[in-house]
Structure 1
Amino acid sequence: MRVVCPHCKSVNNIPLLESYKKANCGKCKNSLLETKPIELTDTNFDEVIVNSDIPVIIDFWAPWCGPCKMMGPNFEKSAAKFPLKALYTKVNTENEQNLGARFGIRSIPTIIVFKNGKEVHRISGALDEVNLNNLTSQFI
């Protein structure tokens, strides 16, 4: 399966396994098991979405948004539960207004799930860790 390195954003082909003890990027050699959400921008958005065989969970947020700030730690905790099962990403709608407009983001936080390069689910409003885990589990 193809996965995007959270460090250098290069595409890696790795075998599809139930779980992984070790998986490193072929380019930068950092761990692909890193689960910290990666920041998507106008320049890397399409490449990440198209080159991920695992679901991509995107949090559209803004730094001034109270509910976004509350959900941020839950989003990171949930990401840690799905290494190489789902790719957690964030789009700062203040910095990436084109992406916010492109996807019709009217309220934040908004979570969009992409699978096989297509949007498959969207939900607005802050979610706790359990609901984020449940949402992700539906698509892996």
Structure 2
Amino acid sequence: MTANVKLVCLECGTTNRAPADRVGAGPKCGTCGTKLADGKVRALDAAMLDKAARTDDLPLLVDFWAPWCGPCRMMAPQFAQAAQALGPKARLAKIDTQDHPQVSTKYNIRGIPALILFQNGREVARLAGARPAAEIEAFVRQHSRQPA
């Protein structure tokens, strides 16, 4: 029997289950049809971040950023490149700390850009500062555990 992974649809918020060995085949949300692990960076709000961080079985790397932050804007293409490379092994998202200031307090963000890796309902690791795609990918691979 194949193990399932839980994935929150980052568009509609529905929790979905997918066979762990089929995540690479591009499962879609049962409610809205959005691909769940397509290698794209998704923008989150505070409620979606809380739900995904608490629920997702796949590693979820979140970039805490703001539009006025030069290093954040410089890192954005690198973050998107890392999302493509990590594909179905991890999901990458970002949250605008200017629009959602409560997340900075909740997650004790002292400077941006800040990357926090979540898995199985808890924070696994964090990384501060703008990074190239290769470092982002290595960070996720080093600190994540693949689901059973």
User: SS of 2:24's equivalent?
Assistant: coil
Q: Percent identity?
A: 34
Is the CA contact 2:62–2:94 (under 8 Å) kept in the aligned structure 1? yes
Aligned length: 140
Q: CA deviation at 1:18?
A: 6.9
The structure richer in helix per residue is 2
For structure 1, list consecutive stretches of 5 or more residues without a partner in the other structure: none
Pairing 1:125–2:113 present: no
- 1:54 is aligned to 58
* Distance across 1 between alignment mates of 2:87 and 2:134: 17
- Runs of 4 or more above 6 Å deviation: none
Q: State the Cα RMSD in Å.
A: 1.6
- 1:81 is aligned to 85
2:14 maps to a residue whose letter is: S
* Distance across 2 between alignment mates of 1:101 and 1:64: 19
* Distance across 2 between alignment mates of 1:131 and 1:97: 27
- 1:94 is aligned to 98
Range moving further from structure 2, 8-17 or 27-36 = 27-36
Q: Deviations over 1:41-94 (max 9, x none)?
A: 222221111110011101010101110001001101111122332121111110
TM-score (norm 1): 0.91
* Mapping of residues 54-73 of structure 1, within 5 Å: 54-73=58-77
* Distance across 1 between alignment mates of 2:26 and 2:123: 30
Q: CA deviation at 1:118?
A: 1.0
User: SS of 1:122's equivalent?
Assistant: strand
1:135 maps to a residue whose letter is: F
2:103 maps to a residue whose letter is: L
Q: CA deviation at 1:40?
A: 2.1
Is the CA contact 1:6–1:34 (under 8 Å) kept in the aligned structure 2? no
Range moving further from structure 2, 37-46 or 119-128 = 37-46
Pairing 1:134–2:138 present: yes
Pairing 1:110–2:125 present: no
